[in-house]
Amino acid sequence: MSADREKRPLKVRLKNARSLSHSSQLWLRRQLNDPYVARAKREGFRSRAAFKLSEIDDKHHFLKGGGRVVDLGAAPGGWSQVAAARVGAKGRVVAIDVLEMEPLPGVEFLHLDFLDPSAPEKLKAMLGGAADVVLSDMAANATGHRQTDHIKIMALVETAAEFAREVLKPGGAFLSKVLQGGTERALLTVLKREFESVKHVKPAASRSDSAELYVLATGFRGRV
């Protein structure tokens, strides 16, 4: 299939549209006409999010063969699929989500809210050693109020970053979803002290009209 055809909208028409709310119609239409959604189905990925992680790693190369990876907020499993493929049979991927996730080859899944007090220790036990990469695509339910949504997702980012700082080995990497407006200054200050490189990235697979960004911290120096 040519690249031009890949980029063209599929122009899928909604059926029974009158039974859906206006916002649901807009969301479903966007999903049905999204080339990344179609590509994910065609290539056997659980979600279009798989291409976000693939694109970021293609550029920054933090998922390495034999590595140990933790995937926070993993369901339905797109990131875990990519991570498992890239670390290979000698690596290990441990995933967690409050939602159920169908089994994936090479991925050990914990069905639990990451904010549960028992979650960090359970993940560490499953990991069996220090992590090379901590991934977080966690997102709180949106309220539609930009400032409130930013505060909620930043609370998740800070919790994920704290966990990453506990489990990463020297040289490890942390990748987490944030929202436009970037990462809070206090967290960035901590990350910049403890990682060699900290930057915001937005892969092409992330919708242009979406407020999401990702903070990528690489070269973990150790907890200060």
Helical ranges in the chain per DSSP H: 3-7, 22-32, 35-43, 49-60, 78-87, 119-127, 146-167, 185-194
Question: Measured between alpha carbons, how far is 156 from 167 in angstroms, rounded to an integer?
Answer: 17
| Dist CA 161 CA 178 (whole Å) | 12
Q: Is the dihedral of CA 46, 118, 154, 192 positive or negative?
A: negative
Positions annotated as catalytic residues are 177
How far does Cα 52 stand from its chain's mean position?
8
How far is the C-alpha of 17 from the C-alpha of 29, rounded, in Å?
10
DSSP string over 4-70: HHHHS---PPPSSGGGS-HHHHHHHHHHHT-HHHHHHHHHT-SSTHHHHHHHHHHHH----TT-EEE
Nearest in space to 74 (alpha carbons), one of 38, 55, 100, 42: 100
In the block, which residue shows the tokens 């904010």? 115
